[in-house]
Amino acid sequence: MQLQLVLDFLRALAADNNKAWMDAHRPDYQRARTEFTALTAELLRQAQSTLEPALRGLSPQDVMYRLHKNDRSQRDPETYKRHMSMGLKQGGRLSPWAGFYLALEPGGESYVGAGRWEPEPRQLAAIRQEIHYAPNTFHALRQAPEFVRHFSAGLDQTDTLKTAPKGYDRQDPDIEWLRLKRFFVWTPFSDAEVVRPDFPARVLAAWQAARPFVHFLNEAVREVTLTGRDPATS
């Protein structure tokens, strides 16, 4: 696969991000999409056999996100995303489960990630409850050597509550983690790293390191995700 084609296309798109440009460069887009689909197919094939059995039966189209911005606001002048991305999780990219992610964007903005970016309110309550009930398990996962090696920045803390969530003491020893609104880790890749032959293997290695963390999140939210029941009443 030629991932340089993907980066080159996205770089050109970022400089002229509108429908007219895309219409004039549709063949370039198709070539870039073909290469990204090949990468997705290879990663999905290996993930289905070695990472997560729940991914079996999914196709690349099930896990690839659209390039077009579905939620673009009127003040957003750009029609398309600046990256191509995939989300490997049970049920496909739009499912409510935690999973494994990859985005390619030139300029060193590519990243591999894992977890749940914005859990639904009931899921968020369930994750906090699980951390509160099993803090040792949670800390062992986030401090695991392989996990830290691949995701040295730790859990994303760009969006947190300013105080304790309802039902928790502000002096709780785990309040730093209970205040999180996202349970997600990610690590960047340079353009030079993306085009290396071992890039798919490095992505899979990072996902493998995050697998116990993803499973912790999915087990925490399993009941509320399947039944819609409030964890406070469980």
Q: According to the 3-state scheme, what is the secondary structure of 125-193?
A: HHHHHHHHHCHHHHHHHHCCHHHHHHCCCCCCCCCECCCCCCCCCCCCCCHHHHCECCEEEEEEECHHH
pLDDT at 93: 96
pLDDT at 192: 98
Side chain identity at 130, as an amino acid letter? Answer: E
Average pLDDT over residues 154-183: 96
The answer, yes or no, to whether residue 20 has pLDDT greater than 90, is yes
The answer, yes or no, to whether residue 73 has pLDDT greater than 90, is no
pLDDT at 227: 85
pLDDT at 1: 84
> Each residue of 36-49: pLDDT tens digit?
999 999 999 999 99
Average pLDDT over residues 200-220: 98
pLDDT exceeding 90 applies to what percent of the chain? 91
Side chain identity at 77, as an amino acid letter? Answer: P
pLDDT at 77: 79
The answer, yes or no, to whether residue 222 has pLDDT greater than 90, is yes
Average pLDDT over residues 128-142: 97
pLDDT at 71: 61
The answer, yes or no, to whether residue 189 has pLDDT greater than 70, is yes
Rounded Cα–Cα distance for residues 200 and 9 (Å): 20
Output the pTM of the full model: 0.93
Average pLDDT over residues 90-111: 97
The answer, yes or no, to whether residue 76 has pLDDT greater than 80, is no
Check: CB of residue 91 under 8 Å from CB of residue 184: no
